[in-house]
Amino acid sequence: MSLPDINTETTTLSVRRTPLWRNVLNYRFYYYLALPALVAFFIFSYVPMFGIIVAFKDVSPFSTVEDILFSPFVGFRWFLRFFRSHYFFQIMRNTIWISFLQLAWGFPAPIILALLINEVRSRAFKRVVQTISYLPHFLSMVVVAGLVMSLLTTQGGLVNQLLMALGREPRMFLGDPRAFRSVLVVTHLWQTVGWGSILYLAAIASIDQEQYEAAYIDGAGRFAQTLHITLPGMANVVVILFIFAVGNLLNAGFERILLLYSPSVYEVADIIDTYVYRTGLIGMQYSFAAAVGLFKSVIAATLLIGTNMLAKRFDYTGIW
């Protein structure tokens, strides 16, 4: 029976027992670079979490910080009020359905665009396509909403002009409950598909080119190379972004909906965020709105953790 290598064990233990402060000191310049981002993240993401207590108290618009701190707790009164509200099922249905449509169409679209761009051999054409597809991401949502209204208006809008040229009646897309969700999904797709393809293009670029050469020698065509090399090579990136997408499932696009919707489409477009906006900022029911927002955050965190655990179960790289 051979004895363990004492020197190896000593070295391993010394590495494991390196004090945290010494590691921080050795890599202090990297921490200096990360410090501004960490401070900003703490200020804007953790400090506001103090406001969670508002969801468990009865706070009026004129309450001071002292009133918030020392007012009595009301338990889950506002949560129960939301669950018993006749708006609950309508809001949850709209939020989940709009988010699902945007996920079903918007998640695979950047992957497909990245695969198509990767197959382009002309560098100039590839740059033009990438630039055109990226541009909508940098437009303000107010500008995007204005463009959509101009295109879809019944008074000279391009889309309705085309419909009339084809012998059809003009349609009020933004006031039609049957068409409004489609407008949201198309607008979301147009604005995000180009920017979303950046990470997938980076993942494709990191794949070893020798794999493609070996596959070509074995007689594999472009489609077979994409299916058996490109897609497996970018699988981890796809899974990580899918986890984030599921975590944001209840974020159905507050700004886009707020700027485009009207009371005529509330039944199909009113989501959790717009409901919180109306009841909290307009209706001044701060505690009730905080409870609804906290409920949404808990569901989102549950979806994020569950999807990450599922990805780890199937041996994919998770976010932790």
Q: What is the CATH number of the domain that holds 137?
A: 1.10.3720.10
Is position 30 within any domain?
yes
Is residue 159 domain-resident?
yes
C-alpha torsion 60→61→65→67, nearest 10: -20
CA distances from 6 to 9, 11, 19, 184, 277 (A): 5, 9, 22, 66, 65
Is the model's pTM score more than 0.85? no
Report yes or no: 124 and 112 within 8 Å, Cβ to Cβ. no
Residue predicted with more confidence, 3 or 213: 213
Residue 304 confidence (pLDDT):
87
Average pLDDT, rounded, for the chain: 86
Question: Which residues are within 8 A (CB) of 96 and not within 5 positions of it... i.e. 6 or more apart?
Answer: 249, 250
pLDDT of residue 144: 92
Closest CA to 302 of 250, 239, 238, 240: 250
Question: Facing residues of 73 across strands?
Answer: 57
pLDDT at 17: 61
DSSP count for the chain of H helices, then E strands: 19, 0
Residue 10 has pLDDT above 70, yes or no: no
Residue 186 domain boundaries: 86-313
Residues forming beta bridges with residue 57, ordered by sequence position: 73
Indicate whether 19 pLDDT > 60: yes
Q: Could you tell me which residue, 70 or 290, shows the higher pLDDT? A: 290
The answer to whether position 203 is within a domain reads yes
The token pair at 130 is 């990438």
The whole-number pLDDT of residue 28 equals 86
Q: What CA–CA distance (Å, rounded) separates 45 from 22?
A: 29
State whether 31 and 123 are in the same domain: no
Domain count, the chain: 2
DSSP structural state of residue 139: S
pLDDT of residue 8: 46
Within this chain, do residues 100 and 243 fall inside the same structural domain, yes or no? yes
Give the total residue count for the chain: 320
Residues 74-118: tens digit of each pLDDT: 889 999 999 998 889 999 999 999 999 999 999 999 999 999 998
Looking at the domain assignment, is residue 170 inside a domain? yes
Q: Tell me, what DSSP letter sits at residue 135?
A: G
Q: Are residues 278 and 179 in the same domain?
A: yes
Instruction: Work out the pLDDT band at 12, boundaries 50, 70, 90.
Output: very low
Are 160 and 240 in a shared domain? yes
Residues 22 and 104 in one domain: no
pLDDT of residue 16: 54
Same domain? 193 vs 308: yes
Of 271, 269, 275, the residue nearest 175 (C-alpha): 269
Read off the pLDDT of each residue in 111-133 and give the average, rounded to a whole number. Answer: 89
Q: How confident is the model at residue 14 (pLDDT cuts 50, 70, 90)?
A: very low
Are 265 and 176 in contact, with CB atoms under 8 Å apart?
yes
CB 314 within 8 A of CB 301: no
